[in-house]
Amino acid sequence: MKNIILSVVAFLFLVSNSFAGDGNKYGKDLRLKEKTKISAILAAPNGYVGKKVQVEGNVVGVCEKRGCWIELASDKPFQKIKIKVKDGEIVFPMEEKGKKAVVEGEVYEIKMTKEQALAAAENEAKEHGKKFDPTSITGPVTLYQIKGLGAVIK
C-alpha cells in the first residue's frame, strides 16, 4: 500500500511539473507560428492595422482597476505597446507584471482629436496619481494597440 501511495505522489509531482513550464494562459489558444517584433509594428503601424500578430515582451504595465490591458516592452529600448482586451473577457492579474508574455491579437488604430487626447492624458495621469501637463499634448494623436485574443505569461 505504501508503494502505491508513493507511486501516486511521484506521478502527480511529475505531471504538475510538466505543466508548470507552460505559464498562465489567458483567452484563446495561441495559433500563429511566427512572432512579429513590437518594434516592427511601431515602425510601420499602417502595414499591420487589421492584421493578427503574435508578439513577445516583458509585461511592464497592468491595468490596476480591471486587468483589462497589459503593456509589453518592445525589443528596442523605450518602446512599448498596449494589449487591450474586452472588459471581463480576459483579466490580467497585477502579479503578471515583470514576467515574459506571448500575446496574439489584432493591431488597431485609435485616432484622437487634440481635445480627446487631452482628456485621455488627463484621465491617465489621474489614474496613476501623476501631475498632468496639458502642454504635453500639442495636437491630434494616433495610437496603435493590439486587441488581445490570447496570451501566455511565464
C-alpha cell at 143: 495610437
Count CB atoms within 10 A of the CB of residue 60: 13
- pLDDT, position 124: 84
Ranges of the chain whose pLDDT falls below 70:
1-21
Predicted local confidence at residue 2, as pLDDT: 45
Name all domains of the chain by residue range, CATH numbers in brackets: 23-153 (2.40.50.140)
